[in-house]
Amino acid sequence: VLPAPNPQIMLPDAAALQTAVALLQAGHCVAFPTETVYGLGVDATQDQAVAALYALKGRPSFNPLIIHVADVAQLEGLVVLSPLAQLAAQRFWPGALTLILPAAPTCPVALLARAGLPSVAVRIPDHPVALALLRAVGRPLAAPSANRSGGLSPTTPLHVAHSLGVGVPLILAGGKTVLGVESTILDLTTPQPVVRRYGGVSLEQLSAGLGQPVRYQASVADATPTAPGQLSSHYAPQKPVRLNVTTAQADEAFLLFGAELGLRGGAVRLNLSPTGDLYAAAANLFAMLHVLDATGCSAIAVAAIPPLGLGLAINDRLQRAAAPR
Ligand code: AMP
Ligand code: MG
């Protein structure tokens, strides 16, 4: 007995690509094959779309995402390409290598997709369907693996459908992925290039391709919320952060959520979402933290955020920001 056809899964013909582009432009997610694993893509320039992606994956935290582009020309205005980055691009793209690069001053990638960081992780995937989609949409796509958080990385369209269910409106089919492991992540924002995650391209291949030794060094304590000052891959405000505040001090900046009834004080007040919408709050989180951090206030006071859905990831990020340093 053949399994019932799944209307979410489409062969990547011209009509399917057109549907995918329309969905992405409207801020929805589209799953697509790459040579590593299936990716869950959204328009990386739309904060709300990125919030929807985190919600669909059920991620309990906001990790920065890998931004996919069709060609090096699409990186113009996105990142700063050093000569070493250009060499890596020439040797390894399209391919299973992600480069962490300084964001360009005009970088349109949503702060939520980079978790507030001044750097961006970018890659050109080596898969005809991924490249056709990226060219058709003409925008950078943020695309983590197309599975629920904690699940196995998907290597077939059915894996994606089973893991994400009806939440993903379209899965472009491209057979089984060739590599089945994620891309290697190479950090080029450090004085020496360092690999942050092992993946499809080996240390030996990198060393040979770049003409210099490349070593592995994990970013410090990504998982411990106790020491955000040490986290090389997470943004934390400079100012102290105080959580679950109902009355802010006169010299504090106050980050609010929902109706402001009973929330008093603060020299500067910004509301993540006056209507209590957690998607909007996630979309605004990093931009508002940056703004409040740049004020002359002594600290950032934050109102309580409900620990539900995207609120879990928001609270995770705020707890890291508030941990003693
Ligand atoms: P995923 O897209 O879920 O396969 O994983 C993305 C990986 O890239 C995570 O381990 C991130 O921490 C890492 N990453 C993405 N952007 C950056 C960045 N700007 N700085 C450091 N690490 C990053
Ligand atoms: Mg994954």
- Would you state the pLDDT for residue 230? 47
- Would you state the pLDDT for residue 212? 96
CA angle, 181 then 72 then 129, to 5°: 50
pTM: 0.92
- Would you state the pLDDT for residue 227? 42
- Would you state the pLDDT for residue 229? 43
Q: Tell the residue nearest (CA) to atom 21 of ligand 1.
A: 233
Angle between helices 203-210 and 83-92 in degrees, nearest 10: 120
Q: Ligand 2 mean position to 145 CA, how many Å?
A: 4
Verify whether ligand 1 is closer than 6 Å to residue 112 (CB atom).
no
Q: Ligand 1 mean position to 63 CA, how many Å?
A: 6
Verify whether ligand 1 is closer than 6 Å to residue 233 (CB atom).
yes
DSSP string, 148-187: -TTSPPP-SHHHHHHHHGGGSS-EE---S-SS-SPPEEEE
How many CB atoms within 10 Å of residue 79? 24
Q: Tell the residue nearest (CA) to atom 6 of ligand 1.
A: 65
Q: Which atom, in ligand 1's list, is nearest to the CA of 144?
A: 2
Give the pair of three-digit tokens for residue 244.
């679950």
Q: How far is the CA of 171 from the CAs of 37, 175, 273, in angstroms?
A: 13, 11, 31
* Mean pLDDT, each 10-residue run in order, the chain (325 residues): 73 97 98 97 98 94 95 97 98 98 97 96 98 98 95 93 93 93 95 94 97 89 46 82 98 98 97 97 96 97 96 94 85
- Would you state the pLDDT for residue 8? 93
Q: Which atom, in ligand 1's list, is nearest to the CA of 121?
A: 16
- Would you state the pLDDT for residue 254? 98
CA pair distance 22, 125, nearest whole angstrom? 21
